[in-house]
Structure formats: C-alpha cells, structure tokens
C-alpha cells in the first residue's frame, strides 16, 4: 500500500469516527427534550413584553419584515419544576437563556450583579436582538 492510499483510508476512518461522535451527541440532546438545559429550581415563567426593532430587522435579517416573535404571546405562563427540560413548543434559545440566568442568580444569591429582584423575581430577555421576548421568572427555591 502506498502512502497516498494509506492517508485516504486514514482520513475516511477518522471522518467516520467523528461523524459517529456527532450523531451520538445529537441523539443525547434530542432525548433530553430539545433544549439541553435543565431548570435548577421550581419557578413560574410569564411573558411580560415582546419587542420588535424593525430598523435592526431591515439591516440584519434575511426577511426584513419578519415582525415580532411568533413563538410567544404576552400573558403566557408556565409552571416549571426543578429538573424540567425545555417544554414542547418553547423556543430552545429562550429556554437556555432563562436557565442560564436563573442558575447564575442562584449561585450569586448573596452578591454579584445577577441578584434576584423583589423576593425571587427575575426579568430575563431571550437572546434575539431584533425581536426580544421579556420574561418574568418567579423563583420558588
């Protein structure tokens, strides 16, 4: 076997191994319910406001007339238990932002910039900069 043939076989083998690892990782995250983040405590999540910045959408989105987020509506509420994963139909990007914010606040209860407001209430925004959804999170920890 010449060196060229050996390198081709080695590259294909390595590609197959990497592909198997990626598929395994994707399967694990899918089994968790879509979002890979787990809520660290019991809480109630409410949608309090939905913004839409048309100037940013016209500059940066593929569809400049996308409008506000269609995943949520003002007034929607969810009761979440500790250990829950992303509920069906809930935007996984917003869920991950909520879990990260609550986790950070729980770890910094006695200081830092991520403290709770008014007896365990947090205000958290989803990461969509042109049409953010603002959530109120009431912690029952």
Q: Same domain for 117 and 49? A: yes
Q: Same domain for 19 and 78? A: no
Is 114 in contact with 104 (CB distance < 8 Å)? yes
Domain count, the chain: 2
In a domain? residue 16: yes
Q: What is the DSSP string of 122-138?
A: EEEE-S-SSS-EEEEEE
In a domain? residue 57: yes
Q: Same domain for 13 and 54? A: no
Q: What gap in Å lies between CA 18 and CA 15, rounded to an integer?
A: 5
pLDDT tens, residue by residue, 69-109: 999 999 999 999 999 999 999 999 999 999 999 888 887 76
Smallest CA-to-CA distance from 99 within 53, 24, 32 is with: 32
Q: What gap in Å lies between CA 65 and CA 35, rounded to an integer?
A: 28
Q: Same domain for 57 and 25? A: no
Smallest CA-to-CA distance from 37 within 111, 109, 87 is with: 87
In a domain? residue 38: no
pLDDT tens, residue by residue, 1-13: 677 767 677 677 7
Domain assignment of residue 98, given as a range: 43-139
Q: Same domain for 24 and 92? A: no
In a domain? residue 65: yes
State residue 106's pLDDT score: 82
Strands 77-80 and 133-139: unpaired
pLDDT tens, residue by residue, 126-141: 999 999 999 999 988 5
pTM equals 0.69
pLDDT tens, residue by residue, 19-53: 565 555 444 444 344 456 899 999 999 999 999 99
């Amino acid at each position: 076997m010449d060196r060229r043939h050996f390198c081709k076989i080695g590259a294909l083998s390595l590609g197959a191994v990497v592909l198997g690892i990626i598929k395994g990782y994707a399967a694990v995250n899918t089994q968790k319910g879509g979002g890979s983040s787990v809520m660290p405590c019991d809480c109630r999540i409410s949608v309090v406001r939905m913004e839409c910045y048309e100037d940013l959408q016209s500059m940066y989105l593929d569809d400049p007339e996308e409008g506000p987020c269609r995943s949520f509506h003002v007034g929607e509420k969810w009761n979440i238990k500790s250990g829950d994963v992303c509920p069906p139909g809930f935007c996984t990007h917003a869920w991950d932002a909520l879990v990260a914010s609550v986790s950070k606040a729980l770890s910094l209860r006695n200081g830092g910039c991520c403290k709770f407001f008014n007896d365990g209430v947090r205000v958290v925004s989803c990461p969509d900069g042109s049409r953010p959804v603002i959530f109120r999170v009431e912690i029952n920890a």
